[in-house]
């Protein structure tokens, strides 16, 4: 419920603060006094878009703050899902800056307008003549029936299963598309995979084969170079090794004369050892050289296979080919696995659809049972509101698909007068009739579900006398279950309130401002008397006002 409203620098309001009770609050005032400004301010708190025209003083920011007691609304899930701090007394604040930008806060945490709108739907229902069109909406009609039928728990189970069903159907569609795509490529992928497998590729193989190819292709050239190197190294008279030995012998004669000569001798010894080793390796390499045309042909064939595969798959290494081979293998296996997964999903969908059918059947049965209760209650209330011959009839059909609320397709038919045929409510009911029907519906729902605060904005237009009195009684009865505000021009309704607020204009300096005042008992008598007789309040009007209040 709305416990407190603070408005600063909005339209004709400079500063306003007001506390509200949990009962029926009446708001009255002359046309143009500012009742619509209050609704506009609440609209901003509920997420309506704002602009600079909302600012009374264009140099100052506009701040609207509303306090709501929400402990009975079970809204913890909303705060958790939106990462907001939950408080039983939640504060919503909206600020409009002179720059035109606006900011919104829930319990001092910044939020976007979508979050504000979502929370606002749980908190306040502003109901005017224009909102009666909601009653023509088939989804809203189903919500009314479900509230009376007590289908909330069944609908939660149904929606849980429906979510699983839709998810499985979506996954089945994706996998079926994937399978169709894979099936078209299956033969080609299998061919490519077989081609790669038959090549028996190994990591690092290409480099090894290319080295072998180079050696086998240049045997004579390599042998010539090795033999020449061996000859230069081992020539008996002038070979490198022989010369190094002579150097070593010469230095050995003077090593004792200086540490420098000793170091040089050691270095020559190291070079001689290394040269001996090199000569030995040259000999080994020369001995291993074999002119093998058959092996060269095999190496060339393997390399040609590798080059051909690299060109086909547009890669430059055996390692990349092996990655492609693994991917193709997965695709071929995946196509087989997909069929198994699809079969499991189809079975799951079939089982879930049976559960949904059963739940939808239970929901439909309870709705059918609720039709007579609902129509009886609505017609009873409408009879009190000056529509004694109003009749309602529900038509129900079954959808072939699972809808968000089951499989029922409901149409609400209406006849206002005796002897007239039933027609769709949205086509045959007048605006005044729709307002009364909506009031009847809201009063019934107040007994079946926890409704948010409701604001009736002059839905009593076009009624008077006893009907107005009955409307006031209905609103008062509703306020036993919920917080109700009624903006009205009718004294019969104004007299029913537990609190009475008056909106009026004042001239302060050179500025016109709107103000809201909580009336005391005497002020309330005067206000209702003025509503009865006009500005010139008569004694009889005062007596009538007191009678209405009593």
Per-position DSSP letters for 332-348, written without gaps between them: HHHHHHHHHHHHHHHHH
pLDDT class for 305, splitting at 50, 70, 90?
A: confident
Asked whether residue 381 is assigned to any structural domain, the reply reads no
pLDDT reported for residue 131: 63
Position 509 in a domain = yes
Residue at which a domain ends, from 306, 336, 366: 336
Q: Is residue 425 scored above 90 in pLDDT?
A: no
Closest CA relative to residue 1, chosen from 438, 450, 440, 442: 450
Domain boundary among 336, 352, 369: 336
Region of poorest pLDDT, from 141-155, 192-206, 467-481: 192-206
- Whether 121 and 206 share a structural domain: no
Does any domain span residue 204? yes
CATH number at residue 114: 3.40.50.300
> Based on the domain organization, do 191 and 306 belong to the same domain?
yes
Tokens of 342: 């699809």
193 occurs within a structural domain: yes
414 within domain boundaries: no
Burial of 425 (0-12, 13-18, 19+ CB in 10 A): buried
Least confident of 89-98, 186-195, 399-408, 533-542: 186-195
Average pLDDT, integer, range 112-124: 91
pLDDT at 188: 76
Q: How many domains does the chain have?
A: 3
pLDDT at residue 363 in the model: 96
85 shares its domain with 232: no
Across the range 402-430, mean pLDDT stands at 90
Residues 331 and 186 in one domain: yes
Please report whether residue 342 resides in a domain: no
Residue-level pLDDT at 316: 85
Does 177 have pLDDT greater than 90? no
Are residues 106 and 205 located together in one domain of the fold? no
What pLDDT, on the 0 to 100 scale, is given for residue 153?
Answer: 93
Q: How far apart are CA 299 and CA 294, in angstroms?
A: 9
Is residue 77 included in any domain, yes or no? Answer: yes
- The pLDDT tens digits of the residues spanning 178-229 come to 877 776 676 677 777 788 888 888 888 878 787 777 777 777 787 777 778 8
Structure-block tokens of residue 473: 């009684």
**Are 270 and 318 members of one domain?**
yes
Q: Is residue 129's pLDDT more than 70?
A: no
Residues 93 and 33 in one domain: yes
Is pLDDT of 99 > 90? no
Instruction: Examine the domain organization and report whether 71 and 193 are in the same domain.
Output: no
pLDDT of residue 292: 66
Helix (H) or strand (E) holding 26: strand 24-28
Whether residue 96 is found in the same domain as residue 231: no
Q: Do 253 and 105 belong together in one domain? A: no
Give the pLDDT confidence score for residue 63 in this predicted structure.
93
User: Are 315 and 278 in a shared domain?
Assistant: yes
Instruction: Determine the structural domain holding residue 545 and report its residue range.
Output: 520-550
**Is 429 inside any structural domain?**
no
Neighbours of 357 (CB within 10 A): 13
**Claim to verify: residue 479 and residue 537 sit in the same structural domain:** no
- Residue where a domain terminates, one of 336, 358, 388: 336
Phi, psi of 390 (to 5 degrees): -65, 135
Average pLDDT for residues 507-513, to the nearest whole number?
A: 80
Instruction: Read off the pLDDT band of 26 (50, 70, 90).
Output: very high
269, 248 contact by CB (below 8 A): yes
Question: Residue 181 burial (CB < 10 Å; 0-12/13-18/19+)?
Answer: exposed
């Amino acid at each position: 419920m709305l416990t407190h409203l603070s408005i600063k620098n909005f339209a004709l309001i400079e500063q306003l603060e007001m506390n509200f009770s949990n009962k029926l609050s009446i708001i009255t005032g002359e046309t143009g006094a500012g009742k619509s400004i209050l609704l506009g301010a609440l609209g901003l708190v509920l997420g309506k878009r704002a602009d600079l025209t909302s600012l009374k003083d264009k140099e100052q920011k506009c701040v609207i703050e509303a306090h709501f007691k929400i402990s009975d609304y079970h809204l913890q899930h909303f705060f958790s899902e939106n990462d907001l701090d939950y408080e039983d007394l939640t504060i919503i604040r909206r600020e409009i800056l002179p720059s035109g930008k606006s900011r919104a806060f829930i319990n001092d945490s910044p939020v976007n307008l979508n979050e504000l709108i979502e929370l606002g739907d749980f908190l306040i229902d502003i109901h005017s003549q224009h909102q009666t069109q909601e009653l023509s909406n088939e989804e809203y009609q189903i919500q009314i029936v479900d509230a009376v039928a007590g289908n909330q728990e069944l609908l939660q189970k149904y929606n849980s299963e429906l979510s699983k069903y839709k998810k499985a159907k979506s996954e089945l569609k994706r996998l079926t598309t994937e399978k169709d795509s894979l099936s078209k490529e299956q033969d080609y992928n299998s061919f490519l995979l077989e081609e790669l497998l038959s090549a028996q590729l190994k990591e690092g193989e290409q480099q090894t084969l290319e080295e072998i190819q180079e050696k086998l292709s240049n045997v004579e050239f390599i042998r010539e170079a090795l033999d020449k190197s061996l000859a230069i190294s081992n020539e008996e008279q002038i070979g490198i090794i022989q010369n190094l030995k002579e150097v070593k012998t010469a230095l050995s004669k003077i090593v004792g004369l200086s540490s420098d000569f000793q170091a040089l001798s050691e270095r020559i010894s190291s070079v001689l050892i290394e040269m001996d080793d090199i000569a030995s390796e040259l000999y080994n390499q020369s001995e291993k050289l074999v002119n093998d045309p058959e092996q060269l042909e095999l190496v060339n064939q393997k390399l040609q296979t590798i080059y051909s595969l690299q060109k086909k798959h547009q890669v430059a290494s055996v390692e990349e080919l092996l990655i492609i081979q693994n991917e193709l293998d997965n695709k071929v296996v995946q196509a087989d696995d997909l069929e198994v997964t699809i079969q499991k999903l189809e079975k799951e969908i079939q089982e879930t659809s049976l559960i949904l059918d059963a739940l939808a059947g239970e929901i439909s049965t309870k709705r059918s049972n609720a039709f007579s209760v609902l129509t009886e209650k609505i017609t009873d209330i409408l009879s009190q509101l000056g529509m004694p011959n109003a009749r309602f009839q529900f038509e129900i059909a079954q959808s072939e698909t699972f809808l968000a609320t089951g499989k029922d397709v409901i149409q609400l038919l209406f006849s206002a007068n005796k002897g007239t045929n039933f027609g769709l409510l949205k086509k045959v009911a007048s605006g005044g009739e729709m307002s009364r029907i909506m009031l009847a519906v809201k009063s019934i729902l107040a007994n079946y579900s926890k409704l948010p605060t409701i604001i009736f904005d002059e839905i009593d237009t076009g009624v008077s006398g006893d009907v107005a009195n009955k409307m006031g009684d209905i609103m008062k009865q509703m306020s036993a279950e919920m917080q109700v505000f009624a903006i009205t021009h009718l004294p019969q309704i104004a007299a029913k309130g537990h609190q009475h607020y008056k909106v009026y204009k004042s001239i302060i300096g050179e500025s016109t401002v709107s103000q809201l005042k909580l009336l005391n008992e005497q002020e309330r008598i005067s206000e209702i008397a003025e509503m009865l007789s006009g500005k010139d309040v008569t004694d009889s009007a005062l007596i009538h006002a007191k009678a209405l209040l009593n």
